[in-house]
Amino acid sequence: MRTASPLRYPGGKAVLANVLAQTRSLNGLGDLVLAEPFAGGAGASLPFLYGEEVPAIWINEADQAIHDFWWAVTERSSAILNLLRDTPVTIDEWLRQRSVYRRGTASRVRRGFAAFYLNRCNRSGIIIDGGPIGGIKQSGAWKIDARFNKKAWNHDWRVWLSTASVFQSRARMVWN
């Protein structure tokens, strides 16, 4: 399965997609929604959605900024796609987006986009306290836009979202 997430999580759960596919097949779970309780980039569940192998996915993310990103993608896709298209990938813009992220007072779309922007422009995708690829002076071998793909995500987002602790998520999965 291909890596499907718009977010960068080197070493993330995308490597589990093939194992999950085998497990789902062996247990006849193909017609059930796939839940990913620690979503992040949702790398373990998105390949199933893209491949039409599940009717929907349920992703839970406790980090409010990452949850806001997924909310914006699924509920305000035109707004986030406009930001993706119109926002330059520069150090000045990185500083603006970092400020939006840190303040936490922007709209859900703006805060979600800021989290996405920092995730794509920071070394190893680290959002909190991460620095830009190539450094502030852009003197590194790689530049800030090295991992920023402006290609739009065109997909029928059949995604349920929640933001809860792992204990709350587990209770919802067991009792719902």
Q: Tokens 């192998």 belong to which residue?
A: 53
- Highest mean pLDDT among 40-44, 91-95, 100-104 belongs to 91-95
Could you read off the pLDDT of 51-96 as tens digits, one per residue? 888 999 998 998 999 999 999 998 998 999 999 999 999 999 999 9
Could you read off the pLDDT of 151-162 as tens digits, one per residue? 766 666 788 888
Full-model pTM: 0.86
| Among 40, 37, 43, residue whose Cα is nearest residue 17 | 43
CB-based contact 114:100 (threshold 8 Å): yes
pLDDT at 166: 54
Average pLDDT rounded to a whole number, residues 22-42: 90
Is it the case that residue 173 has pLDDT exceeding 50? no
Pairing between β-strand 57-60 and β-strand 159-162 as defined by DSSP bridges: parallel
Is it the case that residue 28 has pLDDT exceeding 80? yes
Run of H or E residues at 160: strand 159-162
**Which sequence spans correspond to the domains of the chain?**
13-175
Confidence tier at 149 by pLDDT (50, 70, 90) = confident
H-only helix segments in the chain: 17-26, 46-50, 64-75, 77-86, 91-103, 108-121, 166-175
**Burial environment of residue 116 by CB neighbours within 10 A (0 to 12, 13 to 18, 19 or more):** buried
The Cα–Cα gap between 36 and 65 comes to 17
Confidence tier at 17 by pLDDT (50, 70, 90) = confident
